Amino acid sequence: MKLLSDRLADCIDLRMQAKQAHWNVKGANFIALHELFDKVVDGADEYVDLIAERITQLGGVAEGTVRVAASRSRLAEYPLEISDGLAHVEALSNVLADFGRLARQAIDQTTELGDADTADIFTEVSRGIDKYLWLVEAHAQR
């Protein structure tokens, strides 16, 4: 249950970091990035629900408040001072990559525990995060 709770905190943090980017992005590619970052938020919302509902299916309590997420998240703090689109692309790419790595670790850990259903949930999360990382990183290409 701790593994699920920890990834729930990370996913809530990811969601809010993507929202931070969405709210504050500026520059030549504003609208494309603004809309893309909101899609990342929407994806993270889905993954938060998947993880939280799995916790409750297993008899636990999904602890999803912002305060709990802030105290448990293993993701790096998002840089609050940035506004440039490319700076947000880099920052959000970093957090997506970090969360993706944690999701893949969760696949391995839950597989070792014999919990194929939870491993499947984390596989879905990992696949989606990889897609969002690809979409965000595409904006860094020159």
* Domain at 40, CATH number: 1.20.1260.10
pLDDT single digits (tens) 75-114: 999 999 999 999 999 999 999 999 999 999 999 999 999 9
pLDDT of residue 141: 79
What is the C-alpha to C-alpha distance for residues 60 and 70, in angstroms, rounded to an integer?
20
pLDDT single digits (tens) 58-86: 999 999 999 999 999 999 999 999 999 99
Its domain, for residue 22, covers 2-140
Q: What percent of the chain has pLDDT over 70?
A: 99
What is the C-alpha to C-alpha distance for residues 72 and 9, in angstroms, rounded to an integer?
6
pLDDT single digits (tens) 44-58: 999 999 999 999 999
pLDDT of residue 142: 66
Are 24 and 88 in contact, with CB atoms under 8 Å apart? yes
What is the C-alpha to C-alpha distance for residues 26 and 111, in angstroms, rounded to an integer?
42
Indicate the number of domains in the chain. 1
Q: What percent of the chain has pLDDT over 90?
A: 95
Does residue 38 carry a pLDDT above 90? Answer: yes
What is the C-alpha to C-alpha distance for residues 99 and 101, in angstroms, rounded to an integer?
5
Give pTM, 2 decimals: 0.96
Mean confidence (pLDDT) of the chain: 96
